Amino acid sequence: GTGTAANLATLIKGITYKSGSDNPSTTARTVSIIVKDADVACAGSGNTTISITGTNDCPTLSNASNFATSYTENGANASVVNSTFAIVDADLATASTTQAWTATVQLTNGVSLDSLLVPTSANGFTVATPVYAYPNVTVTISGTGTAANLATLIKGITYKSGSDNPS
């Protein structure tokens, strides 16, 4: 088209780059700029290098909220999360990618004799002995593994009251 060099420079300066990925490659990107005047055989060119720095996206918990269950005195232990509970981390290359994790599961309004029962450590994770500081009962899981393996351990945590008159 036609226009002034200043207008063309303003348009070029307005071009921006944005990755659409939550886990972009950190390989630098090169943008080539070629400008030709009315004599198309004559051109000016330049390159711009864009450095890419990834950021950590927090994991998200699927089917973790608004789960309601019930416990019957002296009955079966109650699950603390939905059976479809999952952990998703956009930073992982694949679902089978392993990484270091720490998770905390906490009963925040417990009373005496309330317990969180934990599965044994597995798949690279260690499940710490629950800490009882009523009204809180806290379980910490740490280790290296997949999000699915961590979710499986969390799904194995259950609630039980040791009281014959639970409130």
What global pTM score does this model have? 0.75
Instruction: Reduce the secondary structure of the chain to three states and give it as a string.
Output: CCCCHHHHHHHHHCCCCCCCCCCCCCCCEEEEEEEECCCCCCEEEEEEEECCCCCCCCCEEECCCCCCCCCCCCCCCEECCCCCCEEECCCCCCCCCCEEEEEEEEECCCCCCEEEECCCCECCEEECCCEEECCEEEEEEEEEECHHHHHHHHHCCEEEECCCCCC
pLDDT in tens, 31-88: 999 998 887 778 889 999 999 988 888 899 988 888 888 999 988 999 999 999 999 9
